[in-house]
Amino acid sequence: MCKLDWKKCSFLLCLGMSIICSAIYLRTRFVTKPKHLASPSDKPLSTECRAFLPHMEDGVKWYNHKGQVESYILNSCINCSNLIRDLHFITRPLSREEEDYPLAFIVTVHKELELFVRLLRAIYMPQNVYCIHVDAKAPWKYRAAVQKLVSCFNNTFLSSRSETVTYAGFSRLQADLNCMTELARSKVGWRKVVNLCGQDFPVKSNLELVQYMQIERWRDRNMTPGIKQPASMKHRTALQHIEIRGSHVALKGSGLKKGPPPHNLQVYFGTAYYALTRAFVDFVLESPIARDLLEWSKDTYSPDEHYWVTVNHIKEAPGSHIDGGWAGDIRAIKWRDQEGRVHNGCKGHYVRDICIYGANDLPWIIKRNSMFANKFESNTYPEALDCLEQWHRNKVLKQATVPIQQSWLLATQGNCNSYFNSSA
Ligand SMILES: *[C@@H]1O[C@H](CO)[C@@H](O)[C@H](O)[C@H]1NC(C)=O
Ligand SMILES: *[C@@H]1O[C@H](CO)[C@@H](O)[C@H](O)[C@H]1NC(C)=O
């Protein structure tokens, strides 16, 4: 066919593409138009869930739309204004307070598109900025879908360098640093950056995050929960390790010793999750001390669990928080070994000693009121996520100081007006 001259050929190609696009477009518009979302396979949210949704009136039916978010993105030739409306993204800053304190997010993902889309729409606000790191080992189709989605927003982008992230490996830290390099150049005037993974979900609303980060203790400080490296963790940084890309981290040889940390730094041990000021991020990227520590950390075990908290104990680091201990309520996690002390058991099930939440874990998560909760799986316990998502969006809209747009409502509701009337 391409024996035809070039112009005719590209015209035909274009025509063909348009027809296919229009056909798919019409089909998906039909299936995903908000009013058509409720289908016989949808079920009303359970009574357990309704107990957490105080704004709901009796007799109002709420439906979940399993799987449709994913198919929507994968199928359609994206028209962004429709996508933003149909997936219920919030399109205006909801208060002056939030507009004046933009946040940056780093989200590291590799699977479960549906979960990612729902996480993104829960944390998305137009004044913030989002760097998404898609694992280099993710299927191209997954990456393409994420790319399609983020291209609909001018404050959301894919990290231009992708790592093959290995559990406990340096690559995990490198993924965050790739995003930080790009966020440092962003023209959005973000004040703090937080990092998330694909199995997290927010508990606090954007307004509550902004308020929490500005309470006196945290206003100009970085949050990196952690303590002096305990003896039981010494092996992580005392011996040389090697990252088997995409698989695991192993000892190098039969226990080769590492040199001491540079600049006589005391090594700390903490969580891989943080809330950092912009000045601190610049320090991480530019200061020779931070860079030397980074270089030294390359052959350690799980460097993301010592790097941030150790740099945050360097006196010269902007916003450093010397001996802050475990303070900073970033994420609610149910660890198996904290059963009976911190929580009353996992109502879903444990994977690697961390609870995958079931719906009956929600009262604990809500009471705990951390910034985020981890972990969720939309396939194993769909109800837990559906319910938390609905609860979170209700709260977000209730706190808004601008008029609520119809498309920001998540659920298909028998009577959409009742929510507004009852919460006005
Ligand atoms: C997207 O769809 C809307 C209405 O459904 C239409 O007004 C708009 O022109 C479309 N945009 C593009 C780029 O096709
Ligand atoms: C995105 O677009 C909006 C509206 O056009 C504009 O106000 C905002 O500054 C833009 N944001 C970025 C990060 O470019």
> What are the pLDDT tens digits along the chain (424 aa)?
344 455 554 655 555 555 554 555 545 444 433 433 444 345 566 777 777 776 665 545 555 555 567 778 877 677 899 999 999 999 999 999 999 999 999 999 998 898 999 999 999 999 999 999 999 999 988 999 999 999 999 999 999 999 999 999 999 999 999 999 999 999 999 999 999 999 999 999 999 999 999 999 999 999 999 999 999 999 999 999 999 998 999 999 988 999 999 999 999 999 999 999 999 999 999 999 999 999 999 999 999 999 999 999 999 999 999 989 999 999 999 999 999 999 999 999 999 999 999 999 999 999 999 999 999 998 899 889 989 999 999 999 999 999 999 999 986 543 333 333 233 2
The answer to whether the beta carbons of residues 113 and 142 sit under 8 Å apart is yes
Tell me what pLDDT residue 49 has: 78
Contacts 24+ apart (CB under 8 A), 355-362: 356/380, 356/381, 357/381, 357/384, 358/383, 358/384, 359/46, 359/48, 359/49, 359/383, 359/384, 359/387, 360/48, 361/334, 362/48, 362/49, 362/52, 362/387, 362/388, 362/391
Which of 70, 98, 305, 377 is catalytic? The answer is 305
**Domains plus CATH for the chain?**
87-232+247-332 (3.90.550)
The answer to whether the beta carbons of residues 246 and 170 sit under 8 Å apart is no
How many Å from the N-terminal Cα to the C-terminal Cα in the chain?
63
Q: In whole angstroms, what is the distance from residue 141 CA to residue 231 CA?
A: 44
Q: In whole angstroms, what is the distance from residue 225 CA to residue 312 CA?
A: 10
Q: How far is the CA of 78 from the centre of ligand 1 (A)?
A: 10
List phi, psi (to 5°) of 412: -85, 120
Q: In whole angstroms, what is the distance from residue 77 CA to residue 148 CA?
A: 9
Residue nearest (by alpha carbon) to ligand 1 atom 10: 79
Cβ atoms within 10 Å, residue 323: 9
The answer to whether the beta carbons of residues 401 and 94 sit under 8 Å apart is yes
Q: In whole angstroms, what is the distance from residue 372 CA to residue 379 CA?
A: 20
pLDDT tens, position by position, 81-106:
999 999 999 999 999 999 999 999 99
Tell me what pLDDT residue 77 has: 77
Ligand nearest to the CA of 128: 2
Q: How far is the CA of 68 from the centre of ligand 2 (A)?
A: 29
Tell me what pLDDT residue 112 has: 87
305 is a catalytic site residue:
yes
> What residues line ligand 1, using a CB cutoff of 6 Å?
79, 81-82
Residue nearest (by alpha carbon) to ligand 1 atom 13: 79
The verdict on the CB of residue 154 being under 6 Å from ligand 2 is yes
Contacts 24+ apart (CB under 8 A), 204-209: 204/369, 204/370, 204/371, 204/372, 205/392, 205/395, 205/396, 205/399, 206/94, 206/98, 206/103, 206/123, 206/125, 206/128, 206/396, 207/94, 207/95, 207/97, 207/98, 207/396, 207/399, 208/399, 209/103, 209/371
Number of H helices, E strands in the chain: 16, 16
Q: How far is the CA of 280 from the centre of ligand 1 (A)?
A: 42
The answer to whether the beta carbons of residues 167 and 303 sit under 8 Å apart is no
Beta 241-244 vs 248-251: how paired, if at all? Answer: antiparallel
Query: At how many degrees (to 10) do helices 382-399 and 113-123 cross?
Result: 20
Query: At how many degrees (to 10) do helices 288-297 and 170-184 cross?
Result: 150
DSSP class of 200: E
Q: How far is the CA of 160 from the centre of ligand 2 (A)?
A: 20
3-class SS of residue 131: strand
Tell me what pLDDT residue 20 has: 56
pLDDT tens, position by position, 278-334:
999 999 999 999 999 999 999 999 999 999 999 999 999 999 999 899 999 999 999
Residues 6+ apart with CB under 8 A from 303: 170, 172, 173, 297
Tell me what pLDDT residue 5 has: 56
Tell me what pLDDT residue 52 has: 74
